[in-house]
Amino acid sequence: MAELGHGGKKIVERIMSASEAKKKAKGLTQIPVRGQIAKEIINIAYGFFTPLQGFMGKKDLDAVVKRMKLADGKTIWSIPILFDMSEAEIEKYGVKAGQTVLLTFEGNPMATFKVDEIYAYDKAKICKSVYGTDEDKHPGCARTYQYKDKFVGGKIMLVNKPKINPPYEPYFIPPLEMRKKFKQKGWQRVVAHQTRNVPHTGHEWLMKGAWLQAYGELPIEKPIVGVLVNAIIGDKRKGDYIDEAIILTQDELRKSGYFGDHNHLTSLTFWDMRYAGPKEAIFHAMLRTNLGLSHHMYGRDHAGVGTYYDAYDAHHLFLKVQKDLKIKPTFSMNWLYCPHCGEVTNEGLCSHKPEWQKFSGTLIRSIVQDGVKPPRLIFRPEVFDLVMESAEKYGFGSPFVTDEYLEKRTPVFSIPPMKV
Ligand SMILES: [Zn+2]
Protein backbone atom coordinates (compact mmCIF):
# COMPACT_ATOMS: atom_id res chain seq x y z
CA MET A 1 0.00 0.00 0.00
CA ALA A 2 1.26 3.43 -0.89
CA GLU A 3 2.26 5.69 1.99
CA LEU A 4 -0.08 8.67 1.96
CA GLY A 5 0.93 12.12 3.06
CA HIS A 6 -0.57 15.59 3.13
CA GLY A 7 -3.72 16.02 1.06
CA GLY A 8 -4.07 12.21 0.92
CA LYS A 9 -1.36 12.14 -1.76
CA LYS A 10 1.32 9.48 -2.17
CA ILE A 11 4.63 10.50 -0.58
CA VAL A 12 6.68 12.14 -3.30
CA GLU A 13 10.12 10.77 -4.08
CA ARG A 14 12.06 12.52 -6.81
CA ILE A 15 15.48 10.93 -6.66
CA MET A 16 17.33 9.52 -9.68
CA SER A 17 19.66 6.54 -9.56
CA ALA A 18 23.33 7.47 -9.92
CA SER A 19 23.71 5.88 -13.36
CA GLU A 20 20.59 7.51 -14.76
CA ALA A 21 21.59 10.82 -13.19
CA LYS A 22 24.92 10.85 -15.04
CA LYS A 23 23.14 10.43 -18.38
CA LYS A 24 20.34 12.92 -17.69
CA ALA A 25 22.54 15.64 -16.24
CA LYS A 26 25.06 15.58 -19.07
CA GLY A 27 25.27 18.74 -21.17
CA LEU A 28 22.61 20.66 -19.26
CA THR A 29 23.06 24.35 -18.47
CA GLN A 30 24.31 24.58 -14.90
CA ILE A 31 22.76 27.09 -12.52
CA PRO A 32 24.17 27.53 -9.00
CA VAL A 33 21.72 27.81 -6.11
CA ARG A 34 22.16 29.18 -2.59
CA GLY A 35 21.66 27.21 0.63
CA GLN A 36 18.02 28.32 1.04
CA ILE A 37 17.07 26.77 -2.29
CA ALA A 38 19.25 23.68 -1.76
CA LYS A 39 17.30 22.90 1.43
CA GLU A 40 13.99 23.18 -0.41
CA ILE A 41 15.30 20.84 -3.13
CA ILE A 42 16.05 18.22 -0.48
CA ASN A 43 12.57 18.66 1.00
CA ILE A 44 10.83 18.29 -2.34
CA ALA A 45 12.95 15.32 -3.45
CA TYR A 46 12.46 13.32 -0.24
CA GLY A 47 8.75 14.08 0.09
CA PHE A 48 8.82 16.42 3.09
CA PHE A 49 6.76 18.81 0.90
CA THR A 50 4.37 16.19 -0.56
CA PRO A 51 2.45 16.69 -2.83
CA LEU A 52 4.84 19.31 -4.32
CA GLN A 53 7.12 17.90 -7.00
CA GLY A 54 8.96 21.12 -7.65
CA PHE A 55 8.94 24.87 -7.18
CA MET A 56 5.58 26.60 -7.42
CA GLY A 57 4.18 28.08 -10.60
CA LYS A 58 2.00 31.17 -10.63
CA LYS A 59 -1.31 29.32 -10.24
CA ASP A 60 -0.18 27.53 -7.10
CA LEU A 61 1.35 30.69 -5.64
CA ASP A 62 -1.81 32.65 -6.37
CA ALA A 63 -3.98 29.96 -4.74
CA VAL A 64 -1.71 29.92 -1.65
CA VAL A 65 -1.87 33.71 -1.37
CA LYS A 66 -5.61 34.00 -1.94
CA ARG A 67 -7.04 30.81 -0.41
CA MET A 68 -4.23 29.06 1.53
CA LYS A 69 -4.58 26.19 -0.94
CA LEU A 70 -2.80 24.72 -3.93
CA ALA A 71 -4.21 25.36 -7.41
CA ASP A 72 -6.24 22.14 -7.18
CA GLY A 73 -8.53 24.11 -4.86
CA LYS A 74 -8.53 21.29 -2.31
CA THR A 75 -5.09 20.85 -0.79
CA ILE A 76 -4.29 23.24 2.06
CA TRP A 77 -0.93 25.02 1.60
CA SER A 78 0.11 27.99 3.70
CA ILE A 79 3.64 29.06 2.77
CA PRO A 80 4.83 29.32 -0.86
CA ILE A 81 7.87 27.34 -2.01
CA LEU A 82 9.61 29.51 -4.60
CA PHE A 83 12.62 29.54 -6.87
CA ASP A 84 13.70 33.10 -7.61
CA MET A 85 15.98 34.46 -10.32
CA SER A 86 16.94 37.94 -11.48
CA GLU A 87 16.32 39.09 -15.06
CA ALA A 88 20.10 39.26 -15.46
CA GLU A 89 20.52 35.62 -14.39
CA ILE A 90 17.71 34.47 -16.64
CA GLU A 91 19.44 36.18 -19.53
CA LYS A 92 22.92 35.01 -18.55
CA TYR A 93 21.89 31.32 -18.38
CA GLY A 94 19.39 31.65 -21.26
CA VAL A 95 16.61 30.08 -19.18
CA LYS A 96 13.38 29.45 -21.09
CA ALA A 97 10.12 27.66 -20.40
CA GLY A 98 10.31 24.04 -21.56
CA GLN A 99 14.03 23.75 -20.88
CA THR A 100 15.66 21.42 -18.34
CA VAL A 101 18.61 22.85 -16.40
CA LEU A 102 20.98 21.43 -13.82
CA LEU A 103 20.97 23.06 -10.39
CA THR A 104 24.32 22.98 -8.62
CA PHE A 105 25.22 23.65 -5.00
CA GLU A 106 28.72 24.78 -4.07
CA GLY A 107 29.94 23.69 -7.48
CA ASN A 108 28.46 20.19 -7.48
CA PRO A 109 25.43 18.94 -9.45
CA MET A 110 22.36 18.57 -7.27
CA ALA A 111 19.08 18.38 -9.22
CA THR A 112 17.57 18.74 -12.64
CA PHE A 113 14.92 21.44 -12.95
CA LYS A 114 12.34 21.33 -15.73
CA VAL A 115 11.31 24.94 -16.25
CA ASP A 116 7.56 25.25 -16.80
CA GLU A 117 7.18 28.99 -16.47
CA ILE A 118 8.91 32.21 -15.51
CA TYR A 119 6.73 34.82 -13.86
CA ALA A 120 6.58 37.85 -11.61
CA TYR A 121 4.45 38.29 -8.47
CA ASP A 122 3.76 41.12 -6.06
CA LYS A 123 5.95 40.38 -3.00
CA ALA A 124 3.98 42.66 -0.67
CA LYS A 125 0.87 40.65 -1.53
CA ILE A 126 2.66 37.43 -0.54
CA CYS A 127 3.72 39.06 2.74
CA LYS A 128 0.25 40.31 3.65
CA SER A 129 -1.25 36.91 3.06
CA VAL A 130 1.42 34.74 4.70
CA TYR A 131 2.61 37.03 7.49
CA GLY A 132 -0.42 39.26 7.97
CA THR A 133 1.82 42.29 7.45
CA ASP A 134 3.99 43.79 4.72
CA GLU A 135 6.47 45.40 7.13
CA ASP A 136 10.02 44.63 6.16
CA LYS A 137 11.02 44.38 9.81
CA HIS A 138 9.08 41.10 10.04
CA PRO A 139 11.79 38.48 9.32
CA GLY A 140 9.51 36.50 6.98
CA CYS A 141 8.71 39.61 4.97
CA ALA A 142 12.39 40.55 4.91
CA ARG A 143 13.15 37.11 3.46
CA THR A 144 10.37 37.56 0.87
CA TYR A 145 11.59 41.02 -0.19
CA GLN A 146 15.06 39.54 -0.70
CA TYR A 147 13.72 37.30 -3.47
CA LYS A 148 14.91 38.37 -6.87
CA ASP A 149 12.35 39.75 -9.31
CA LYS A 150 11.25 36.63 -11.18
CA PHE A 151 10.03 33.23 -10.03
CA VAL A 152 10.61 30.00 -11.90
CA GLY A 153 8.12 27.14 -11.57
CA GLY A 154 8.76 23.51 -12.47
CA LYS A 155 9.54 20.00 -11.26
CA ILE A 156 12.87 18.97 -9.85
CA MET A 157 14.64 15.63 -9.68
CA LEU A 158 17.53 15.04 -7.29
CA VAL A 159 20.55 13.67 -9.15
CA ASN A 160 23.03 13.66 -6.28
CA LYS A 161 22.12 12.86 -2.71
CA PRO A 162 23.26 15.19 0.06
CA LYS A 163 25.87 13.97 2.51
CA ILE A 164 24.69 14.71 6.03
CA ASN A 165 27.71 15.70 8.10
CA PRO A 166 28.46 14.73 11.71
CA PRO A 167 26.90 14.98 14.23
CA TYR A 168 23.67 15.24 12.24
CA GLU A 169 23.68 11.97 10.22
CA PRO A 170 21.41 9.87 12.45
CA TYR A 171 18.83 12.63 12.64
CA PHE A 172 18.05 13.09 8.94
CA ILE A 173 15.12 10.71 8.56
CA PRO A 174 13.02 11.38 5.42
CA PRO A 175 9.27 10.59 5.35
CA LEU A 176 9.37 7.03 3.97
CA GLU A 177 12.17 6.02 6.32
CA MET A 178 10.45 7.70 9.25
CA ARG A 179 7.26 5.74 8.66
CA LYS A 180 9.28 2.50 8.71
CA LYS A 181 10.81 3.52 12.03
CA PHE A 182 7.41 4.16 13.56
CA LYS A 183 6.25 0.72 12.41
CA GLN A 184 9.33 -0.95 13.89
CA LYS A 185 8.64 0.79 17.19
CA GLY A 186 5.02 -0.27 17.11
CA TRP A 187 3.82 3.28 17.55
CA GLN A 188 0.17 3.74 16.61
CA ARG A 189 0.25 7.47 17.26
CA VAL A 190 3.14 9.89 17.16
CA VAL A 191 3.02 13.50 18.29
CA ALA A 192 5.36 16.11 16.79
CA HIS A 193 7.39 18.53 18.84
CA GLN A 194 8.55 21.46 16.73
CA THR A 195 11.74 22.96 18.11
CA ARG A 196 14.64 25.34 17.58
CA ASN A 197 15.72 25.13 21.18
CA VAL A 198 17.84 23.38 23.73
CA PRO A 199 15.21 21.81 26.01
CA HIS A 200 14.48 23.07 29.51
CA THR A 201 11.99 21.25 31.69
CA GLY A 202 9.14 23.43 30.37
CA HIS A 203 9.76 21.92 26.92
CA GLU A 204 10.08 18.49 28.48
CA TRP A 205 6.65 18.88 30.07
CA LEU A 206 5.17 20.23 26.86
CA MET A 207 6.19 16.89 25.33
CA LYS A 208 5.01 14.83 28.27
CA GLY A 209 1.65 16.59 28.28
CA ALA A 210 1.23 16.07 24.55
CA TRP A 211 2.19 12.40 24.90
CA LEU A 212 -0.60 11.92 27.45
CA GLN A 213 -3.06 13.83 25.26
CA ALA A 214 -2.15 11.75 22.21
CA TYR A 215 -2.79 8.51 24.10
CA GLY A 216 -6.43 9.53 24.44
CA GLU A 217 -8.55 6.39 24.67
CA LEU A 218 -5.72 3.94 23.76
CA PRO A 219 -4.62 1.35 26.35
CA ILE A 220 -1.85 3.11 28.25
CA GLU A 221 0.12 0.06 29.44
CA LYS A 222 1.57 -0.57 25.99
CA PRO A 223 4.27 1.70 24.50
CA ILE A 224 2.27 2.57 21.39
CA VAL A 225 2.51 6.36 21.42
CA GLY A 226 5.72 8.22 20.68
CA VAL A 227 7.01 11.77 20.69
CA LEU A 228 8.98 12.88 17.64
CA VAL A 229 11.22 15.87 18.23
CA ASN A 230 11.57 17.45 14.82
CA ALA A 231 14.22 20.13 15.05
CA ILE A 232 14.12 22.83 12.41
CA ILE A 233 17.59 23.32 10.96
CA GLY A 234 17.95 26.36 8.72
CA ASP A 235 19.27 29.88 8.40
CA LYS A 236 20.74 30.99 11.71
CA ARG A 237 20.64 34.38 13.36
CA LYS A 238 23.28 35.58 15.78
CA GLY A 239 22.31 34.62 19.33
CA ASP A 240 20.33 31.49 18.31
CA TYR A 241 21.50 28.23 19.83
CA ILE A 242 24.00 26.45 17.59
CA ASP A 243 22.39 23.57 15.66
CA GLU A 244 24.68 20.94 17.18
CA ALA A 245 23.61 21.88 20.72
CA ILE A 246 19.92 21.77 19.76
CA ILE A 247 19.88 18.36 18.12
CA LEU A 248 22.22 16.64 20.60
CA THR A 249 20.50 17.95 23.75
CA GLN A 250 17.04 17.06 22.46
CA ASP A 251 18.22 13.48 21.97
CA GLU A 252 19.92 13.57 25.38
CA LEU A 253 16.50 13.65 27.08
CA ARG A 254 15.99 10.13 25.72
CA LYS A 255 19.55 8.96 26.38
CA SER A 256 19.46 10.17 30.00
CA GLY A 257 16.17 8.43 30.65
CA TYR A 258 13.76 11.36 30.92
CA PHE A 259 12.14 9.56 27.99
CA GLY A 260 13.17 6.27 26.40
CA ASP A 261 13.55 4.41 23.11
CA HIS A 262 9.97 3.27 23.53
CA ASN A 263 8.48 6.77 23.41
CA HIS A 264 10.96 9.31 22.06
CA LEU A 265 12.85 9.94 18.82
CA THR A 266 14.79 13.00 17.62
CA SER A 267 15.09 14.07 13.99
CA LEU A 268 15.65 17.17 11.90
CA THR A 269 14.05 18.93 8.97
CA PHE A 270 15.83 21.52 6.85
CA TRP A 271 13.64 24.59 6.99
CA ASP A 272 14.27 28.29 7.38
CA MET A 273 11.86 29.58 10.00
CA ARG A 274 9.56 32.14 8.41
CA TYR A 275 8.02 33.25 11.75
CA ALA A 276 4.63 33.15 10.05
CA GLY A 277 2.82 32.28 13.30
CA PRO A 278 -0.54 30.66 12.45
CA LYS A 279 0.35 30.08 8.78
CA GLU A 280 3.57 28.40 9.81
CA ALA A 281 1.63 26.26 12.31
CA ILE A 282 -0.40 24.96 9.38
CA PHE A 283 2.79 24.44 7.39
CA HIS A 284 4.30 22.43 10.24
CA ALA A 285 1.13 20.30 10.30
CA MET A 286 1.57 19.51 6.58
CA LEU A 287 5.25 18.74 7.04
CA ARG A 288 4.66 16.39 9.98
CA THR A 289 1.74 14.69 8.23
CA ASN A 290 4.24 13.76 5.55
CA LEU A 291 6.59 12.40 8.19
CA GLY A 292 3.81 10.04 9.24
CA LEU A 293 2.70 11.70 12.46
CA SER A 294 -0.81 11.55 13.85
CA HIS A 295 -0.61 14.52 16.25
CA HIS A 296 1.14 17.87 16.47
CA MET A 297 1.72 19.91 19.60
CA TYR A 298 1.09 23.63 19.58
CA GLY A 299 2.11 25.76 22.52
CA ARG A 300 1.77 29.45 23.05
CA ASP A 301 2.64 31.75 20.11
CA HIS A 302 3.70 28.91 17.80
CA ALA A 303 6.30 30.12 15.27
CA GLY A 304 5.53 33.71 16.18
CA VAL A 305 7.80 36.72 16.35
CA GLY A 306 7.51 40.03 18.23
CA THR A 307 3.90 41.05 18.73
CA TYR A 308 2.63 40.17 15.26
CA TYR A 309 0.34 37.35 16.43
CA ASP A 310 -1.81 36.69 19.46
CA ALA A 311 -0.74 33.81 21.71
CA TYR A 312 -3.40 31.40 20.47
CA ASP A 313 -3.86 32.56 16.83
CA ALA A 314 -2.21 29.36 15.61
CA HIS A 315 -4.68 27.23 17.58
CA HIS A 316 -7.64 29.14 16.13
CA LEU A 317 -6.48 28.89 12.52
CA PHE A 318 -5.79 25.19 12.97
CA LEU A 319 -9.32 24.54 14.22
CA LYS A 320 -10.73 26.47 11.28
CA VAL A 321 -9.06 24.24 8.66
CA GLN A 322 -8.82 21.03 10.69
CA LYS A 323 -11.23 19.12 8.44
CA ASP A 324 -8.71 19.43 5.58
CA LEU A 325 -5.76 18.22 7.64
CA LYS A 326 -4.99 14.63 8.58
CA ILE A 327 -3.04 15.44 11.71
CA LYS A 328 -4.69 16.22 15.06
CA PRO A 329 -3.56 19.01 17.35
CA THR A 330 -2.59 18.82 20.99
CA PHE A 331 -2.86 22.35 22.35
CA SER A 332 -0.97 23.56 25.37
CA MET A 333 -0.60 26.67 27.47
CA ASN A 334 2.77 27.65 28.92
CA TRP A 335 4.59 25.30 31.23
CA LEU A 336 6.42 27.06 34.04
CA TYR A 337 8.09 26.47 37.37
CA CYS A 338 6.05 27.12 40.50
CA PRO A 339 8.10 27.19 43.74
CA HIS A 340 4.91 26.78 45.77
CA CYS A 341 3.98 23.55 43.95
CA GLY A 342 7.68 22.68 43.97
CA GLU A 343 7.42 21.47 40.38
CA VAL A 344 6.93 22.33 36.75
CA THR A 345 3.29 23.05 36.13
CA ASN A 346 1.00 24.67 33.63
CA GLU A 347 -0.61 28.11 33.46
CA GLY A 348 -3.93 26.36 33.09
CA LEU A 349 -3.40 24.25 36.22
CA CYS A 350 -1.72 26.15 39.02
CA SER A 351 -3.22 29.15 40.84
CA HIS A 352 -0.06 30.51 42.50
CA LYS A 353 0.32 33.07 39.75
CA PRO A 354 2.33 35.65 41.76
CA GLU A 355 4.99 32.99 42.47
CA TRP A 356 5.38 31.67 38.93
CA GLN A 357 8.83 31.56 37.38
CA LYS A 358 8.39 31.49 33.64
CA PHE A 359 10.98 29.88 31.41
CA SER A 360 11.77 33.02 29.48
CA GLY A 361 14.45 32.89 26.83
CA THR A 362 16.34 35.54 28.78
CA LEU A 363 16.30 33.48 32.00
CA ILE A 364 17.54 30.34 30.27
CA ARG A 365 20.15 32.30 28.37
CA SER A 366 21.50 33.86 31.55
CA ILE A 367 21.67 30.40 33.17
CA VAL A 368 23.66 29.07 30.24
CA GLN A 369 25.90 32.13 30.07
CA ASP A 370 26.68 31.95 33.79
CA GLY A 371 27.94 28.42 33.25
CA VAL A 372 26.82 27.46 36.77
CA LYS A 373 24.77 24.29 36.83
CA PRO A 374 21.10 25.28 37.32
CA PRO A 375 18.56 23.38 39.48
CA ARG A 376 17.61 20.10 37.81
CA LEU A 377 13.94 21.04 38.07
CA ILE A 378 14.61 23.79 35.54
CA PHE A 379 17.40 22.44 33.38
CA ARG A 380 18.51 18.81 33.33
CA PRO A 381 22.19 18.45 34.36
CA GLU A 382 22.90 16.10 31.43
CA VAL A 383 21.44 18.66 29.02
CA PHE A 384 23.41 21.47 30.64
CA ASP A 385 26.69 19.53 30.44
CA LEU A 386 26.05 18.74 26.79
CA VAL A 387 25.33 22.40 25.98
CA MET A 388 28.72 23.30 27.48
CA GLU A 389 30.43 20.43 25.65
CA SER A 390 28.81 21.44 22.33
CA ALA A 391 29.97 25.03 22.86
CA GLU A 392 33.58 23.81 23.10
CA LYS A 393 33.36 21.16 20.40
CA TYR A 394 31.27 22.97 17.78
CA GLY A 395 30.59 26.55 18.86
CA PHE A 396 34.10 28.01 19.20
CA GLY A 397 33.45 28.41 22.92
CA SER A 398 29.85 29.62 22.70
CA PRO A 399 26.56 27.66 22.65
CA PHE A 400 25.07 30.60 20.76
CA VAL A 401 25.62 31.55 17.14
CA THR A 402 28.48 34.01 16.66
CA ASP A 403 30.11 35.50 13.56
CA GLU A 404 32.92 32.98 13.97
CA TYR A 405 30.44 30.10 14.03
CA LEU A 406 28.65 31.37 10.92
CA GLU A 407 31.97 31.60 9.12
CA LYS A 408 33.68 28.39 10.22
CA ARG A 409 31.00 25.86 11.23
CA THR A 410 30.78 22.49 9.54
CA PRO A 411 27.80 22.63 7.18
CA VAL A 412 24.89 20.35 8.13
CA PHE A 413 24.94 18.85 4.65
CA SER A 414 27.12 19.01 1.59
CA ILE A 415 26.65 17.86 -1.98
CA PRO A 416 29.42 15.48 -3.02
CA PRO A 417 31.38 15.98 -6.26
CA MET A 418 29.85 14.30 -9.31
CA LYS A 419 31.16 14.15 -12.86
CA VAL A 420 28.61 14.91 -15.55
ZN1 LIG B 1 1.72 26.35 42.08
- Phi, psi (deg, nearest 5) at residue 226: -120, 160
Compute the residue count for the chain: 420
What's the 197 CA to ligand 1 centre distance in angstroms? 25
What's the 193 CA to ligand 1 centre distance in angstroms? 25
What's the 345 CA to ligand 1 centre distance in angstroms? 7
3-state SS class at 336? strand
Q: What is the pLDDT of residues 372-415, one digit of tens each?
A: 888 899 999 999 999 999 999 999 999 999 999 999 999 999 99
What's the 212 CA to ligand 1 centre distance in angstroms? 21
What's the 338 CA to ligand 1 centre distance in angstroms? 5
Distance CA 46, CA 27 (A): 25
Task: Look over the chain and give the mean of its residue pLDDT values, rounded to a whole number.
Answer: 96
User: Which pTM was predicted?
Assistant: 0.96
What's the 148 CA to ligand 1 centre distance in angstroms? 52
What's the 375 CA to ligand 1 centre distance in angstroms? 17
What's the 378 CA to ligand 1 centre distance in angstroms? 15
- The closest alpha carbon to 199, from 417, 314, 368, 32, belongs to 368
Q: What is the pLDDT of residues 268-285, one digit of tens each?
A: 999 999 999 999 999 999
Q: What is the pLDDT of residues 110-142, one digit of tens each?
A: 999 999 999 999 999 999 999 999 999 999 999
What's the 204 CA to ligand 1 centre distance in angstroms? 18
What's the 10 CA to ligand 1 centre distance in angstroms? 47
Helix (H), strand (E) at residue 404: helix 403-408
3-state SS class at 223? coil
What's the 340 CA to ligand 1 centre distance in angstroms? 5
- Specify the pLDDT at position 1: 64
Q: Are 330 and 191 in contact (CB under 8 A)?
A: yes
What's the 229 CA to ligand 1 centre distance in angstroms? 28
Ordered domains of the chain (ranges, CATH): 6-161 (3.10.400.10), 169-414 (3.40.50.620)
What's the 298 CA to ligand 1 centre distance in angstroms? 23
Q: How confident is the model at residue 2 (pLDDT cuts 50, 70, 90)?
A: confident
